[in-house]
Chain A
């Protein structure tokens, strides 16, 4: 009738009641760690895994949520077929996303790498303060940033147009700057405007990533390079860049994922519509509109999964281009 004892319990328990107590304690002890880590798993199941699986399930349905769960209709791959073949707005938003991902993403790294090198070499005592200044846009609320920039880019009352107008008064600038206020809401400017804001926001983040990686490069290498007569440029090209490759891969991967999911900045800057001719509408904005304006959560879920597949594919490609070379090196 007595429960089997573990070997430890048997040796540590000279009397019968003590046996039982120790047994219980031992068994509990076995569970306690799980109890302590359970909040993570419970929260992950409820807020992580369940929505994930539900959205897969949902993407095979037509469902208008206000009608309740009973109103879900199984449609198989219809939503996916519709998006790939017929949803012109998705195609357009995907093009916009790719365009802005490249135009805002590539310069981020082209500027952040030399900037980090410059900060690493030039600033000794004030480095943290300067890095903090560059990092500030990253930790500021994207809504606040977008609102500030939409005010700056205001056609009639914005500082940018006011500055252009002031420069136009000067003799040389008047040749190439327009006399009229620029309407930044025009489709030919929308993507540039959003890309600029995204670039401005994340260049500091990448700089901090690169700077932290540079700080791990042994000083001896720089000293040896200097002894060999290498210039700053040669040090950057032949010492820093090769050693930074893993960090470049990591930072570029983050940029790819972030830019393909771009939402807040274009949403606020274009008043939620994507602007004239939907020039600034991203795939994430299209997904949001499909769900919350059109009330079509099934198609929106399918958009989400297509976007996920795209991000996975591009990240894989990036791994092929940047990551694997490092392995071989």
Chain B
């Protein structure tokens, strides 16, 4: 028995030494968690090995959930202060709500001082992540400059030029009639798209889509009236398919050559190429939106929760994702995520022709759009307003409700619903 004690003690001391040294190295090693959603997480996955070469002391754990689940999980985490990641990805649709919540670090303040980078990124992207009090709650990582994708083969068949499509909304609707007559294809998936662009364009810097600075609804303004009129004109002309984006009908519509144009963020190019309309390679083109309109669809952000554990390391990693030219270009190449960083927007990659779009150098066109997009103030009640306005527009389109009455009803409903 005595003989056994010595080796046992030796082994024990060995284990102790190993534990102590491991503990010491663990102390210097920082682990940060990043919460994200597909496809944005692919950018993080690409960044991890590159970042760890530069910072071997940092370990990055990525937790990814489906798009709605991620934002629900983040809402719950912010509510309870539990299970918060160090770096939180936030999509454009949620940024207004999260920015107003007060649960995120104000990156404009020390030690982040992120306002110094404002001139480095697309000018409309910072205000999207700013709360009413002027706090910057997230860093933009990609932006979605609006573009009109159209089927060149179908418009050619109808004798319609690109200028006909983009000159004005009226000419776009006229062109749609010709395309419908010649090819049977709908000019656009849903007339609601026109309304969505019109209410976003022509805004002055700092103006909100649905609310003014005092939080008063703007939905009875001339901007909304015109948007509704145009949507109604498109529906009456029979050029829209009454199809909701991302529905079965929509994807089938692309596959069966039934949709001649689609207005969305430039990132739609990736979806068209990869799955929506793989077979129509070379037939699609990109153009600016009609009537010199410029607007954005989507965009992604990274934020640091106030109760995060490793804020300093999280901020360094966010800077790497958002302000490093190579990383921004990598995401552009891999996910068609248009870079928010101007330095990346000036790269020669933007001059490369896109085979899917018939060799068009469309990325330059999207950059032009990105430069012209105005900064729009976001409001935490924007999603409520969107639902209220869409509900009234449906009544106008489907039940011939008078536009003026519909907008007045929308305003009244909105006031009731937000209970400010």
Chain A residues with a Cβ under 8 A of chain B: 64-69, 71, 82, 86-89, 150-151, 154-157, 183, 185-187, 271, 273, 276-278, 289, 292-295
Contact = CB atoms under 8 A, between A and B. Distances in A.
B413 A68 contact: no
A147 to B, nearest CB: 8
A189 to B, nearest CB: 12
Interface stretch (B71-79, B111-119, B173-181): B71-79
Interface string B389-400: 011001100110
17 contacts: A66-B74, A66-B75, A66-B97, A67-B78, A71-B101, A87-B417, A88-B416, A89-B417, A154-B252, A157-B252, A187-B399, A271-B244, A276-B394, A289-B387, A294-B384, A295-B380, A295-B383
A293 B387 contact: yes
A277 B394 contact: yes
Contacts of B394: 276-277
A65 B75 contact: yes
B406 to A, nearest CB: 12
Given A156-B249, A289-B387, 10 more contacts: A64-B380, A66-B74, A67-B102, A86-B416, A156-B241, A156-B253, A156-B258, A187-B399, A271-B247, A277-B399
Given A66-B79, A69-B81, A154 B249 contact: yes
A70 to B, nearest CB: 9
B28 interface: no
Contacts of B253: 156
B133 interface: no
A194 to B, nearest CB: 16
Interface in B242-263: 242, 244, 247-249, 252-253, 256, 258
B358 interface: no
Interface in B373-415: 380-381, 383-384, 387, 390-391, 394-395, 398-399, 413
A68 B97 contact: no
B98 interface: yes
Nearest to B387: A293
Most central of A69, A157, A295 by chain B CB within 10 Å:
A295
A296 to B, nearest CB: 9
Given A67-B102, A271-B244, A278-B391, A295 B252 contact: no
Contacts of B398: 186-187, 276-277
Contacts of A183: 242
A154 B248 contact: yes
Given A155-B249, A185-B242, A292-B72, A65 B79 contact: yes
Nearest to A187: B398
Nearest to A294: B384
A69 B413 contact: no
Interface residues of B, number: 39
Contacts of B6: none
A94 to B, nearest CB: 16
Contacts of A292: 72, 75
B81 A65 contact: no
A68 B252 contact: no
A200 B413 CA distance: 36
B282 interface: no
B419 interface: yes
B389 to A, nearest CB: 13
Contacts of B76: 65
Given A154-B252, A183-B242, A292-B72, A66 B81 contact: no
Contacts of A67: 78-79, 100-103
B80 interface: yes
Contacts of B383: 293-295
Contacts of B103: 66-68
Interface in B225-254: 241-242, 244, 247-249, 252-253
A273 B386 CA distance: 12
A151 to B, nearest CB: 6
A155 B76 CA distance: 38
A102 to B, nearest CB: 24
A91 to B, nearest CB: 12
A66 B244 contact: no
A155 B253 CA distance: 11
Contacts of B241: 156
Nearest to B78: A66
A95 to B, nearest CB: 15
Nearest to A275: B394
Contacts of B419: 82
Contacts of A71: 101-102
Interface in B57-83: 72, 74-76, 78-81
A185 B72 CA distance: 28
A315 to B, nearest CB: 31
Given A69-B79, A292-B72, A294-B384, A151 B101 contact: no
Contacts of B395: 277
Contacts of A289: 387
A292 to B, nearest CB: 7
Contacts of A87: 416-417
Contacts of A278: 391
Contacts of B252: 154, 156-157
Contacts of B381: 294
B387 A66 contact: no
